[in-house]
Amino acid sequence: MESIDARKSWLAVLARAERATLEAAVIGLSPRPSWRVVKPAESGLAMVRGRAGGTGQQFNIGEMSVARCVVQVEGGAVGVGYVAGRDKRKAELVAVLDALLQDGPFAERLRRDLVAPLAQGQEAARQRVLSKAAATKVDFFTMVRGS
């Protein structure tokens, strides 16, 4: 069984992945895993909370759409998928992968061949945004008046 921190970090990566990538990862496994749906995939809402001044008392900003699903892989762990957006299939795939990543024959390989490269790609995308932002940073200079 993996630690909660490890599980949190792959769930964060899977939640940001494209559905097609997750679909291909599951289809690519041999023998093909099978699973039982514990809670069918559904889409709904989560109320996004903020804080006054960023650090103060809580208030509700507005809702966001969320899809979720719970599955259990055959002879294995229970997996949970909660993802931003309305893609129910993606929530199911995240749940399946969450279960497979916890233990069993695919855990190691999925971590190496799916989660690690996805995390790398997401960090690279973030760095691209930050480097565009960095190019718009103001360099102040002081005008010297008179002699």
Positions in the binding site for other proteins (CB under 8 A): 4, 8, 11-12, 15-16, 39, 42-66, 68, 70, 78, 80, 82-86, 126-138, 140
Torsion 73-78-84-86 (CA) sign: positive
- Least gap, CB of 29 to other proteins (angstroms): 23
Q: Are strands 35-51 and 58-73 parallel, antiparallel or unpaired?
A: antiparallel
Which of 66, 80, 72, 74 minimizes the C-alpha distance to 7? 80
Least distance CB 146 / other proteins (angstroms): 22
Which is nearer to other proteins, 80 or 100 (by Cβ)? 80
Nearest to 100 by CA among 80, 120, 122: 80
Quote the least distance from Cβ 147 to other proteins, whole Å.
Answer: 26
Q: Which CB, 23 or 28, lies closer to other proteins?
A: 23
